Amino acid sequence: MKYSATVNSAKTANTACLVVPVFARRKLSSAADELDKASRGKIKSFLKKGDFSGKRNQLAWLYDLPYVKSTRILLVGCGDVKSVNKAVYKKLNTAAANAMIEKSVTTCTNYLGTIRNKHLGTGSVSKLTPIAFADSTYRFTSFKSKTGAKVSLRSCALAMNDKKQLGKARKALATGSAISAGMNLTRDLGNTPPNVCHPTYLAEQAIALGKEFSKMKVEVLNEAQMKKLGMHSLLSVSAGSEQPAKLICMHYNGIGAKAGKPVVLVGKGITFDTGGISIKPSPAMDEMKFDMGGAASVFGTMRALAEMGAEVNAIGVVAAAENMPDGKATRPGDVVTTMSGQTVEILNTDAEGRLVLCDALTYVKKYDPTSVIDIATLTGACIVALGHQTTGLMSNNQKLANKLLKVGKKIDDRAWQLPLGSEYDEQLKSNFADIPNIGTPGAGTIVAGCFLGRFTSEYKWAHLDIAGTAWKGGAAKGSTGRPVPLLTSYVLSQF
């Protein structure tokens, strides 16, 4: 998809479709009013018939209005203009894009971008439009013998009311477009079947990213190198798999390595999670290919930063392994030594994400980071707490937590902070090692965060549990691309 910003008269816009907002109680937007006057009252005449009231998410097609250049008009009901927040705006754009795809529309001029209230400004609508359109236009057909019809929609011109807004709109559109490209990479990696997307495959994708962008340098550590570093916790997870683990490090130097300390993103990359010896129940086990959602979001964020040529320094680290049961697999009761020197009693091999992350979080100290954020599909308990709408957030630094909450709200990729405290940390007691990999029942998401906190005391750190937000199940099964918008926005805010 190509995106542009324009200040076009609605009646003369040369495009296959005009997307025009109408508000509650049939109140016309400025674009709808212009079209109505140009067509001698045709829009008001249509609305008087009573089938379309402007209620949110209503859609109506009008064709061949007199004195209007575009042959198709898509009216989009927006409800009360004051109530159109960022989440609603995205849904309106997604609905419009779906409707145009169904009609095989190729190009559009989108006047939803002219909606303004306390929630929406030029920057917001310009960033959110490509993200919303990507939700509709994304297709994953790589493994289908018949791919079906391709999405015809190929360009969107976002209309502004004021020429003074164009510069800001174009810059924000470029950011939103890069974020949507990053989200699509995250979706692709998450949706790729686990017999293809294994740790070596992820390493190959990182190397390809490094070849595509000159400011991206990639380093991949193999199992022998990790063993030499003392990463026995990470390696305990891959012990039962024929697929060797990888530690993938992507360095994006947008302003030069000496110009600023990096933000470091660390992604859990369990390319398939059987649970190991503590094997999972079989229903929906296929969805455990999404257990590398944290890693996929690191890939997507690094791509977004590189694609927009962001003037930032960021490092994306992916701890990639496959968790399988065989004769060499780690057993419940085994004790391993982490890179930090702390020992871990593995009580449950299905709590493996924290085992790969703890060594990666120790490793990244070498980069002297300004902040470290780990991203992981870590606990089912997070879904119980926050559902599939909101990411769980824990941090050892409140300013960092506040910043993540703020940028997530701005880009409509929300997180919610959960507490970390000594009363939860007390659950992590072992008679046989320094720490067990699971605690006593209750507060599973928080206790997992406390476990990771044992390895992050030397820098500002936040943990994002995306178990509920990284993918959808059921008929809509697939990766969501989250939290690429949140992560990209945070990195951009730090430089």
- State the Cα–Cα distance between residues 144 and 150, nearest whole angstrom: 13
Q: Are 192 and 142 in contact (CB under 8 A)?
A: yes
CATH number, span 2-162: 3.40.220.10
CATH number, span 180-493: 3.40.630.10
Q: Which residues face 436 on adjacent strands? A: 345
Instruction: Kindly calculate the radius of gyration of the chain based on its CA atoms and give it in whole angstroms.
Output: 24
- State the Cα–Cα distance between residues 66 and 87, nearest whole angstrom: 35
What is the pairing mode between strands 343-345 and 435-436?
parallel
Active site residue 354: yes
Torsion sign over Cα 148, 152, 154, 160: negative
**In 250-267, which positions are buried (b, 16+ CB within 10 angstroms) versus exposed (e)?**
bbbbbeeeeebebbbbbb
How many Å separate Cα 169 from the centre of its chain?
22
- State the Cα–Cα distance between residues 422 and 429, nearest whole angstrom: 12
Name the amino acid, one letter, at 54: G
Residues 6+ apart with CB under 8 A from 31: 10, 18, 20, 21, 111, 114, 159
The one catalytic residue among 354, 410, 414, 482: 354
Two tokens, residue 161: 């009311």
Two tokens, residue 19: 């997307």
- State the Cα–Cα distance between residues 106 and 35, nearest whole angstrom: 21
Q: What is the pLDDT of residue 92?
A: 98
Q: Are 420 and 427 in contact (CB under 8 A)?
A: no
pLDDT in 10s for each residue of the chain, 495 residues: 999 999 989 999 999 999 999 999 999 999 999 999 999 999 999 999 999 999 999 999 999 999 999 999 999 999 999 999 999 999 999 999 999 999 999 999 999 999 999 999 999 999 999 999 999 999 999 999 988 888 999 999 999 999 999 999 999 999 999 999 999 999 999 999 999 999 999 999 999 999 999 999 999 999 999 999 999 999 999 999 999 999 999 999 999 767 789 999 999 999 999 999 999 999 999 999 999 999 999 999 999 999 999 999 999 999 999 999 999 999 999 999 999 999 999 999 999 999 999 999 999 999 999 999 999 999 999 999 999 999 999 999 999 999 999 999 999 999 999 999 899 999 999 999 999 999 999 999 999 999 999 999 999 999 999 999 999 999 999 999 999 999 999 999 999
- State the Cα–Cα distance between residues 153 and 328, nearest whole angstrom: 51
The three-state secondary structure class of 247 is strand
Which DSSP state fits 219? Answer: E
Strand intervals (E) in 340-470? 343-345, 371-376, 391-395, 415-417, 435-436, 461-465
170-176-180-183 Cα dihedral, nearest 10 degrees: 150
The three-state secondary structure class of 220 is strand
106-131 pLDDT, tens digit each? 999 999 999 999 999 999 999 999 99
Question: Which sequence spans correspond to the domains of the chain?
Answer: 2-162, 180-493
End-to-end CA distance of the chain: 28
User: Which of 377, 370, 428, 4 is CA-nearest to residue 177?
Assistant: 4
Could you tell me the maximum CA-CA distance found in the chain, to the nearest angstrom? 83
Q: Which residue has the tokens 């003369």?
A: 12
Phi, psi of 155 (to 5 degrees): -150, 150
Two tokens, residue 66: 């007199």
Q: How many CA atoms lie within 13 A of 36 on its CB side?
A: 19
Q: Are 169 and 158 in contact (CB under 8 A)?
A: yes
- List C-alpha distances in Å: 330 to 29, 109, 343: 63, 57, 15
Q: What is the pLDDT of residue 149?
A: 82
- State the Cα–Cα distance between residues 330 and 1, nearest whole angstrom: 46
How many Å separate Cα 334 from the centre of its chain?
35
Q: What is the pLDDT of residue 260?
A: 82
Two tokens, residue 68: 């209007």
Q: Are 153 and 106 in contact (CB under 8 A)?
A: yes
Q: What is the pLDDT of residue 150?
A: 87
Q: Are 276 and 330 in contact (CB under 8 A)?
A: yes
Torsion sign over Cα 219, 224, 228, 231: positive
The one catalytic residue among 69, 116, 170, 280: 280
Phi, psi of 62 (to 5 degrees): -125, 140
Name the amino acid, one letter, at 363: Y
Q: Are 205 and 282 in contact (CB under 8 A)?
A: no
445-450-359-483 Cα dihedral, nearest 10 degrees: 40
